Amino acid sequence: MKYLLCLTMALAVTQSHAGGITELENLLITEIVATPTAGEFIEIHNAGSTTLDLSDVYLTDATFSNGNVYYYQLVEGGASSGGGGGFADFFARFPDGATIGAGEYQTVALNGAADFNTTYGLDPNYELYGADINVPNMREARPNSINNQGGLTSGNNNGEVAVLFYWNGSTDLVQDLDYVLWGDKVEAIDKTGISIDGPDGDSTTSMYNNETAISSQDVIDQNSHASGNSWQRIDLTEGAETKTGGNGITGHDETSENWSFTFGEDQPTPNAASNIAPPVPQFVINEIDAVSNGADFIEIFGMPNTGTDGYTVVLYDGDTDLATNVISLDSLTTDANGYLLLNETLEDGADAVALYVSDSMNFMAGDAITTNNIMDAIVYSSGQADDAELLSLLNPGQPQVNEDANGNALTESLIRCANGSGGQLNTTSFKAFTPSPGAENANCVTFGDYYATADDTNAQTLRDTLHDIIDDHMVFPYSSGSEDTWDILSIADEDPQVPGQVWMIYKNNNYTWQGGGQQAYNREHTWPQSYGFSSGALGDNNAARTDTHHLMLSDVGYNSDRGNLYFDNCTTGCTSRATDPHENPNTPQMDTVGGPNDVNLFDGKSFEVWDFRKGDIARAMFYMDVRYAGDVSGEVDLQLTDNASLIQTGDPYMGLLSVLLQWHIDDPVDDIERNRNDFIFTKQLNRNPFIDHPEWVECIFVTGGSCSTVVADDLIFENGFE
């Protein structure tokens, strides 16, 4: 199950019965049990030093984004204001006179006190509903808003929300105290710019401050915790809130908290503190400059405003393979953008910089190389031969990187391209580029010699060498609390003229980006996953299923129409699905694409894409055919064909090849594809060669096609050639 939990407090102008209004910022959500049903509870904690009154505090999971129902609508009144009583949702209020003492933990049993006691051997402080006379019931927030409802494990929709908030009954706005998100973000909340009028005696609306966009909000986890466990807060400072000026008490932006670091999973500890040790903040070595005019530096990148106590950087010399310098990171902190800059003199190479989660007292100059407690490392040179001993600091197969790769070592540094990419103990994303100390490694996508090893002697040599270039790319999770395919597609398919909106492949319309999950849009596998790489056969995160070169955002209905139909021109008995008019990014302010004359057509066997996207789809299919050759364990040999009888569920065939070849000719490469290819390159670290070199399609896929083109280091159509 996939859920959201949120703790809020309404704006109040009077003092609470115990403690001041601002002291309510010390009220935190500290534990959540979502499964099993009998053990479900939400725990709150008063981290302050003053008793707090809970009389006007409410608890609900009744936000329903797909129905435009949100907890803060309670201020508007009415029988359905704020939801509750449906979809197994509840909207409850703490008992009159309830308080929580300084340092106290309290639980609300969502399935009744009896089941809670059976599960944990103690009583909760409150039950959502039930008949236990020793445990007070929560009150209804409005009539019939509980109805024996509970159940964070409800499967009636794709996500749920629970909200804990305080409201004095008269103000327009609510102020967040805490906000905890997990699952697919379907019920995530962004109140930015929302205007609302409560029962404050006037007809003037009040507006919420900016919050973190849903696409940028963190989650504890994409999936529910293991049955019998709980999620427990392990950072009673609320973790790192990366934005301020939001709608929380004292101006906090609770939607910006890094919940994946704030919570952990373990056996439940109801009415007590967590036993989980705080997580270790994660960092990477993001940039180094070892060959400069006296301006050497090391850049560490991680969570913003995060201390690095207990971390150590060690410099290793390649001549001796011994430590030459030990740098303590105690008392240092990353800046508001996550950077920590160390102005340290580095040797030219072959040498190494290593980052350890270990105190500096554990290292000395002259020590041998060690990987104990290592977090990240880079082995570098300015043209020297590889140092095998230093390479043992990295993951197997990772290269030593050359700051003088372009012959400009004095004016270039070694950067991760894109910023923060590649993963710890991996160096494949490093390149020599313009230094950017303490700033993002931006605009670093260049071809260089990416296609230098492509051999167009004949169709087979070109296919084989291109496969070797584009395979083994960085694979991202299909859905995850960390960076996943949703995150990549939010940028890859963003409308270049309407930031924050994503552009649909078949319908040609826009939707405001709302994060992952079942929105009005979803992820279209242009090569259907049932044709060779379904999650059931190869796992959820297999490379082909998660490859964003062929994953594209689509309107849900249009994606359903397409299903797993192969691509072909439809001539008779076709169902038509029109496209929306949309300004053409290739010729802005001049014309539009889509509309009644541009339609998608399909019958019971095949699907014809509308004209403006035919080439996009064709080149994605050519990429999949060459990228996946069955030469790696867990990958299949995907093949394009004109034999429709071969295209069957479970088999790795797709087509029709001859039609795709014609679509490729009729709809040439444009800036939309080029920009998409460039961005995905910064993530997966591989490219679609048929966007960069469309002439290679003929060589590989047309029998007797020409293979006489010259392999270039850069785009052959860089200056507008098509």
Give residue 255's domain range: 3-266
Query: Distance (Å, rounded) from C-alpha 588 to C-alpha 708?
Result: 36
Q: What 8-state DSSP symbol labels residue 563? A: T
Q: Decide: helix, strand or coil at residue 86.
A: coil
Give the DSSP H/E element, type plus range, for residue 432.
strand 430-433
Query: Distance (Å, rounded) from C-alpha 375 to C-alpha 357?
Result: 6
Beta bridge partner(s), residue 353:
315, 378
- Per-residue pLDDT, averaged over 617-645, amounts to 94
- As given in the structure block, the two tokens for residue 299 are 């850049």
Amino acid 155: pLDDT: 38
- Per-residue pLDDT, averaged over 705-719, amounts to 49
pLDDT at 112 over 80: yes
Is the same domain home to 517 and 578? yes
Is the same domain home to 585 and 538? yes
pLDDT at 713 over 50: no
Domain-located, residue 271? no
Q: Decide: helix, strand or coil at residue 167.
A: coil
Domain-located, residue 704? no
Is the same domain home to 219 and 319? no
Burial of 708 (0-12, 13-18, 19+ CB in 10 A): exposed
- Of 266, 301, 317, the domain-final residue: 266
Domain-located, residue 307? yes
346: pLDDT confidence band, cut at 50, 70 and 90?
A: very high
Q: What are the pLDDT digits (tens) for 502-542?
A: 999 999 999 988 888 768 899 999 999 999 998 876 888 89
User: What does each C-alpha distance from 51 to 13, 26, 48, 95, 459 come to in angstroms?
Assistant: 19, 10, 8, 16, 76
Is the same domain home to 253 and 292? no
Domain-located, residue 146? yes
Residue whose entry in the numeric block shows the structure tokens 């209004």? 21
pLDDT at 716 over 50: no
Amino acid 381: pLDDT: 96
Is the same domain home to 521 and 396? no
Which residue type occupies 360?
S
Write the CB contacts of 536 (distance below 8 Å, at least 6 apart in sequence).
none
Query: How many Cα atoms sit within 13 Å of 538 on the Cβ side?
Result: 21
Task: Say which residue, 11 or 559, is predicted with more confidence.
Answer: 559
The proportion of the chain whose per-residue pLDDT surpasses 70, expressed as a percent, equals: 88
Amino acid 80: pLDDT: 63
How much of the chain is in helix, strand and coil states, percent to nearest 5?
20, 25, 60
**How does the average pLDDT of the chain come out, rounded?**
85
Torsions phi, psi of 492, nearest 5? -60, -35
Residue whose entry in the numeric block shows the structure tokens 């400069």? 292
Is the same domain home to 567 and 671? yes
Is the same domain home to 210 and 326? no
**3-state secondary structure labels for all residues of 172-229:** CCEEEEEEEECCCCCCCCCCCCCEECCCCCCCCCEECCCCCCHHHCCCCCCCCCCCCC
Burial of 710 (0-12, 13-18, 19+ CB in 10 A): exposed
- As given in the structure block, the two tokens for residue 428 are 């494949």
Query: Distance (Å, rounded) from C-alpha 720 to C-alpha 718?
Result: 6
pLDDT at 83 over 60: yes
Query: Distance (Å, rounded) from C-alpha 599 to C-alpha 620?
Result: 20
252: pLDDT confidence band, cut at 50, 70 and 90?
A: confident
Domain-located, residue 707? no
Domain-located, residue 236? yes
Is the same domain home to 215 and 250? yes
Q: What 8-state DSSP symbol labels residue 395? A: P
Q: What are the pLDDT digits (tens) for 382-411?
A: 999 999 999 999 988 889 999 999 899 999
Query: Distance (Å, rounded) from C-alpha 42 to C-alpha 30?
Result: 8
Domain-located, residue 642? no
The proportion of the chain whose per-residue pLDDT surpasses 90, expressed as a percent, equals: 50
Burial of 564 (0-12, 13-18, 19+ CB in 10 A): middle
pLDDT at 250 over 80: no
66: pLDDT confidence band, cut at 50, 70 and 90?
A: low
Query: Distance (Å, rounded) from C-alpha 255 to C-alpha 232?
Result: 18
pLDDT at 285 over 90: yes
Most confident of 50-59, 586-595, 612-621, 681-690: 612-621
- Of 266, 295, 315, the domain-final residue: 266
User: What does each C-alpha distance from 420 to 321, 429, 448, 683 come to in angstroms?
Assistant: 27, 9, 20, 10
pLDDT at 631 over 50: yes
Amino acid 157: pLDDT: 37
Amino acid 87: pLDDT: 61
Amino acid 20: pLDDT: 58
Could you report how far apart the first and last alpha carbons of the chain are, in Å?
A: 48
Is the same domain home to 85 and 126? yes
Query: Distance (Å, rounded) from C-alpha 362 to C-alpha 354?
Result: 14
One-character DSSP codes across 220-269: S-SSPPPTT-EEEE--TT---B--BSSSBGGGB-GGGB-HHHHEEEES--
Domain-located, residue 389? yes
Query: How many Cα atoms sit within 13 Å of 110 on the Cβ side?
Result: 28
- As given in the structure block, the two tokens for residue 556 are 């849900």
pLDDT at 142 over 50: yes
435 and 426 Cβ atoms separated by less than 8 Å: no
535 and 529 Cβ atoms separated by less than 8 Å: yes
- Of 376, 405, 433, the domain-final residue: 433
Residue 133's Cα: distance from chain center in Å? 46
79: pLDDT confidence band, cut at 50, 70 and 90?
A: low
Residue whose entry in the numeric block shows the structure tokens 């070694």? 414
Amino acid 216: pLDDT: 66
User: What does each C-alpha distance from 4 to 20, 573, 712 come to in angstroms?
Assistant: 28, 45, 50
598 and 508 Cβ atoms separated by less than 8 Å: yes
Q: How many domains does the structure of the chain reveal?
A: 3
Is the same domain home to 426 and 529? no
Is the same domain home to 398 and 495? no
Is the same domain home to 488 and 605? yes
124 and 135 Cβ atoms separated by less than 8 Å: yes
Q: What are the pLDDT digits (tens) for 642-696?
A: 999 999 999 999 999 999 999 999 999 998 999 899 889 888 989 999 999 999 9
Amino acid 2: pLDDT: 41
162: pLDDT confidence band, cut at 50, 70 and 90?
A: confident
Amino acid 127: pLDDT: 93
pLDDT at 63 over 90: no
472: pLDDT confidence band, cut at 50, 70 and 90?
A: confident
103: pLDDT confidence band, cut at 50, 70 and 90?
A: very high
